[in-house]
Structure 1
Amino acid sequence: YDYHSARHAARLDSAEDIGRRAGERAVARVGAGRVRGGPMPIVLDPRVGSSLLGHLSGAISGSAITRRTSFLLEAMGTRIFAPGIDIVDDPHRPHGLRSRPFDGEGLPVSPMKLVSDGMLETWLLDSAAARQLGLEPTGHAVRGVGGAPSVGPSNLYLANGKTPVASLIADIDYGVFVTELIGQGINLVTGDYSRGAAGYLIEGGVITTPVSEFTVAGTLQSMFRELVPANDLNFRYGINVPTLRIDGMTVASG
């Protein structure tokens, strides 16, 4: 599949480009085989790698901290990613899909580093959670069509690394390039992670044949520590990441 969203119609990809990419991706997946199980490196396409930032934002939301239901409960001010990793929430990005001048409670917002050089710098707080924790709100209240505000980021992204994608996978003798994640096997209380997946084999540093019906498992704690970003960040969605490599994941074939 493929799709594109934009704040302004002039910035939308053409229907022809979207259709061509969707068709090329579908054809490339024909005849998918099986992957050999075991511990190995995985590489996450940016379209699925962004889900890791979704798990991070859920684990550092004020509601999770006040309920003490987060695997990052004691992690404030500690290193949870490798040195050099920055994760930024930028509500002021021009044309950003989630750009906003104020949050769901009317509080002003500003760009904020959630993770700086691998260190966790802040929780995401609305007014209610901030009061319970004795802190100031961070401007991350969001509203739906009804009910009380909840907590959520705006334009969240993991900053570019320094390594081209080809170099990121060049030393992988056997691994998988994941383009699809299936299911919701994530426990934000413990950090346990297990999801169905599909994608392509990486053999001898090269992406080769399509594979499907396998699972990738680990813990979010170890995945965050092992994560290495490529240098291909593109601001296309509400949450954006470059291509990501994570060593030591457990892969099991269905």
Structure 2
Amino acid sequence: MTRTPEEICHALLDAARVAGAESADAIAIEGTSLSVEVRAGALEHAERSEGTDLGLRVLMGGRQAVVSSSDARDETLRAMAERAVAMAREAPEDPHAGLAEATDLAQDWDLAALELADPGPEPEAGALRDAALEAEAAALAVDGVTQVSDAAATYGRHAVHMAASNGFSGGYARTGRSVSCVAISGEGTGMERDYDGDSRTWAEDLRSPTEVGRTAGERAVAMQGARRPKTGSYPVLFDERISSSLVGHLLAAVNGASVARGSSWLKDAMGEQVLPAALSLVEDPHRPRVSGSRPFDAEGLPTRSRTIVENGVLTGWTLDLSSARKLGLSSTGNAARSVSGPPSPSNWNLALSQGDKSREELLRDMGTGLLVTSMIGSTINPNTGDYSRGASGFWVENGEIAYPVNECTIAGNLRDMLLRMIPANDARTYLSRVVPSILIEGMALAGN
């Protein structure tokens, strides 16, 4: 008889107890995913997968080990527990490993308010195919688009349950729908590509495939005739599509695991100004219908809203139990984990303060410089914050877009860059990371 993720977790804990584990936690993820890709008006690929993945972590004093499997039979669960206990006995000692105290565990949560799972039926593969075909047709209808390299639609539903020997037991279901399109303009060495896509928790919130395809096509055509820009020091405007990567670098630097290792360019910046005084960065894991929302973290601790940067000043690290213990602090309820590894710190939904100007007004104010709409590659020094990335977008002269550019590199130091950020007011508020376009003056640009 098929068991639920909750039943599997408790069976794993029972097996770990019998095998001699001092304490343990378990996670089970039952999922269904369906993806469809089309090309040239015909179905190119369709894939459906179903399965259950499970992981068990056992602790023997200060030693721990994690094992995982996709087989939930009783004999497999017993073998997992025995193997994990044997591995833990040979593992190096970690004085910071351990479960949460029972008094700190999440007790009550309102899953209905989070709306993590669309109650509607699973879509048929034909419906996803039609959505992908609609996106492809809309892109091809844009004058100048020569082909569509990829148009796809996906659906996924996953049920997650976690349980631990400290008494925690909780789970939730999550759904996701997406549609995407990659369009190409021009031919031969003059080909340029760009994309658009949308991903939502509820199907009714998804942008239309026609809009996604048309936007991808228009973006690809706009890149026609791209050339390398001038080398020098110029203001750079990070388009809203990619500006969240800057916040991502900040989050990586305040991750408790990096700080505890001493490998963060912000390791000594607690209480210091890291953003302009008018900006704050707020984490809220309780936003309805958003992919980063969750009622508790991977260690059973309640999630909560917190301000990571307040009025420009760094107020705290992102911590799980282990990193918090290393730093002599308390967990912020930010543990995440897969079935094959122990918990580690991660962020949920983030929002950066928006400015009072539109992207067009920032373009006007920047005069001459670079509007970046796409980036490739990354060279980030985690200890110094030195930053270098390949970029493409549009050259701006006299506050107006002049021509498309590619094959250039932008560089600077993140500590200095973040202090010079000027945000626009164009962030998409339904994303997990709500970050507007961001202007940074005086960046090094390598082109011609």
- Above 0.5 in TM-score? yes
* 1:1-254 paired onto structure 2 within 5 Å: 1-253=195-447
Deviation at 1:236, TM superposition (A): 4.1
**Paired letter, 1:24:** E
Larger radius of gyration: 2
Alignment partners' CA distance in 2, 1:67 and 1:105: 21
Higher relative contact order (CA 8 A, sep 6+): 1
Distance 1:186 1:156 in 2: 21
* Structure 1 SS opposite 2:323: helix
**What TM-score, normalized to structure 1?**
0.97
Shift in Å, 1:9: 0.6
Deviation at 1:43, TM superposition (A): 0.2
| Distance in 1 (alpha carbons) for counterparts of 2:354 and 2:205 | 23
Q: Deviations over 1:131-166 (max 9, x none)?
A: 111101001111123211111110112121112222
SS of the aligned residue for 2:268 comes to coil
As a proportion of its length, which structure holds more strand?
2
Residue-by-residue CA offset, 1:111-134 (whole Å, 9 max, x unaligned)? 111111100011000000111111
Q: Percent identity?
A: 44
Kindly state the Cα deviation for residue 79 of structure 1 after the two structures are TM-superposed.
Answer: 0.5
Gaps of 5+ in 2: 1-194
Determine the C-alpha separation between the residues in 2 that align with 1:145 and 1:208.
50
1:159-217 Cα shifts (integer Å, max 9, x gaps)? 21112222212132310000011102111211000000000011101122100000000
Corresponding letter in the other structure for 1:141: A
Distance across 1 between alignment mates of 2:197 and 2:361: 28
Q: How many angstroms apart in 1 are the aligned matches of 2:439 and 2:262?
A: 30
Moved more, 232-241 or 242-251: 232-241
Q: Distance in 2 between matches of 1:220 and 1:166?
A: 25
Q: Distance in 2 between matches of 1:194 and 1:138?
A: 31
CA distance in 2, matches of 1:147, 1:172: 46
Cα RMSD after superposing both structures: 1.0
Count how many residue pairs are aligned between Structure 1 and Structure 2: 254
